[in-house]
Structure 1
Amino acid sequence: MSQSAVTTSATAAGTVTLGDLKVNRLGYGAMRITGKGIWGPPADRAGSIATLRRAVELGVNFIDTADSYGPYVSEELIAEALAPYPSGLVIATKGGWERVGPGQWIHNASPKHLQEAVEGSLKRLRLDRIAVYQLHIPDPAVSFDASMETLALLREAGKIQNVALSNVTLEHLERARKIVPIVSVQNRYSFADREWDFLLDHCEKNGIVFIPWAPLGQNRQAHDLLDRIAKELHATALQVALAWLLARSRVILPIPGTSSVAHVEENIAAAGLKLPERAFQELSAFTAPPAVLR
C-alpha cells in the first residue's frame, strides 16, 4: 500500500515564496490533461476536470501550465474547472512555443508573439493579471534580452505579476535578472538527472524558486532503485522521487502531473513522506552508468 493518499494535504510539504506570493511546496503540472502528444482535448475531459478540482481540494495552490499545452486546452480546462479561483490559488503559465501538430514544437519568443501569448492566456484563464508568467524556452532566432524586455514591459503594464524562466542556463538567468526580477526557474531535474545541480544551488543562494520537471528521470537503474526504496517505505516510486526533491532544497517546488484523480492523490501524499537519511543519501549518490556506444 502506498503512502496515504486520502489524509495527506499539500500543506504538509511546507511553503515557498515566489516573489510576492506564498504557495504550498507541492504543486500540480497541467500538461497531461491534454490529448496524446500534448495535442487536442483529453480523451476523458470530465476526468481531467475532476483531477484539477481534487488537487485543489488537497491543498495544491500552485498550478503550472502553458499556452502550448494543447495548444490552449490546458488553460481552458483550468478555467472551466476552477474559475472563479479560490483565494490564494496561483496559476503559472508560459509562452514561447508554437504548435503545429502532436509532439511538434516550434520556437517563437519574439516580442510580438509573447505579447499576443500573454493576452491569449489572460482570456483563456479568465484572469486580469497572470500571477507567474514564464518564458517557456529561449528562442535561438530571437534576442533573449528582447524576449525578457517584452515580459518586463508586460509586468509594468500590470498584465504579469511575476516573471519566471524555463529551460535556461545560469547565463540566461543572470542576464534576465539585469532586466526584470525573476521569481523561479523551471528545468529538468531529478535525483537521477543532476545536470542542473549548480543552477539549483545558485537559485537557493538567491531566493529563487526551482521548479523541477521529469522527477522520475529516464534511467532504468534509477527506477529499480526507486522501486526498492518505495517498497521498503510502503510508498510508490514517484512518491519517493518527490520526497527526495522536497528534501534536496528548500526552494524546490515539485509539480507532478497526471490526468487521474487516484494518481493526483498519490502524488500529493508525497508531501507527508519523510525519507530516512539513509534513503536520501543513497538516492543522492546515484550515478547513471555511461551510455554504451553501438
Structure 2
Amino acid sequence: MAGILDGRVAVVTGAGRGLGREHALELARHGAKVVVNDLGTTLDGAGVSVGPAQEVVDIIRGEGGEAVANGADIADFVQAGDLIRQAISTFGQLDILVNNAGFVRDRMLVNAAEDEWDAVIRVHLKGHFAPLRHAGAYWRTEAKEGRQRIARVVNTSSGAGLQGSVGQAAYSAAKGGIASLTLVAAQELGRYGVFVNAIAPSARTRMTQGPFADAMAAPEDGFDRMDPANVSPVVAWLASADCSVTGRVLEVEGGRICLEEGWRHGPARELERRWSAAEVGDAVRALAAEGAPSEAVYGA
C-alpha cells in the first residue's frame, strides 16, 4: 500500500516521541509531507525543546521524504493557528490532521490538585480542539471556494476515556471528551469533505511506563503487541482518501482493531407522567438488570 498518501500534507501533533513519532514516520513513508509538531516537554509537561521534533524531521528527510519541525503549544489557540498556517504556507495545502499530543499527571481523585486537572484537560482536550478549529475553518473556506479537499482527521482517545481508569480522573475525562468531540466534528465537517475518526491506542510509551509498566513490557520473543509502531498503519489508512468511515472510534492494540461502541439508548420505562421519587428505585434497578453490564474500569 506504499504511496496511499502521495501528494497529501499532514500535521501530526506530539510527534517527537512515542506514538506521534511513529505516526509521522509512517505517514511520510506512504508519501505524505509532514509538519512534525512537538513542544518537547517532559512526561508531566515541563520544559520546552524543538529537539525531538527535529530528530523526526531528520529521519524523514534521510529516507527521502519531506518534513518540517514545529514547536507550537497546540493548546494555545494562536499557536495552533500558526501551526496550521505553517503547513499551508510550506506545502501549499493541508489534507490531514493527526491530534496526538498529551501528557499525564496521574492522581487518585481525592488527591488531585486543581492545577494538575487544568493542565491535563488543557493539553488533551483543548489541544485537540484548537488545531481542529483552525484546520476546519481552512477546509470550510476551501470548499466554499470550489477547492474542496479530501481531508481526514485522526484524534487520539483512550481506553481510559471510554471505560475509565483508576487514578486517571483528569486523563479519562479529557479522553472521553475527545471521543465526543470526534462525533460532533464528523457531523459538522462532513459537508466540507472532512472525515473525522479517533483511535484508542494501547502501546508502550512514556505515558504507560508507570502503573501499566508490567503489562506494557516487551516480550522476550515473538510479536511485540505493545510496540507503538503497530498503531500507525491504522492511522495511515484513516488519513488516506481510501478511508470511507467517519465518526468512529477504533481501539488498536498490536494486531487487533476493535470498533468501540459507545453510549447508546438502552432499555427504557415510560409513564406518560412525572415520576415520583418512590417509583424511581424499582424502575432503575430493573433497567440496570436488563441492560448490558458495564465494562470493568481499568485498574479496578
- State TM-score, norm by structure 1: 0.38
Bigger radius of gyration, 1 or 2?
Answer: 2
- State TM-score, norm by structure 2: 0.38
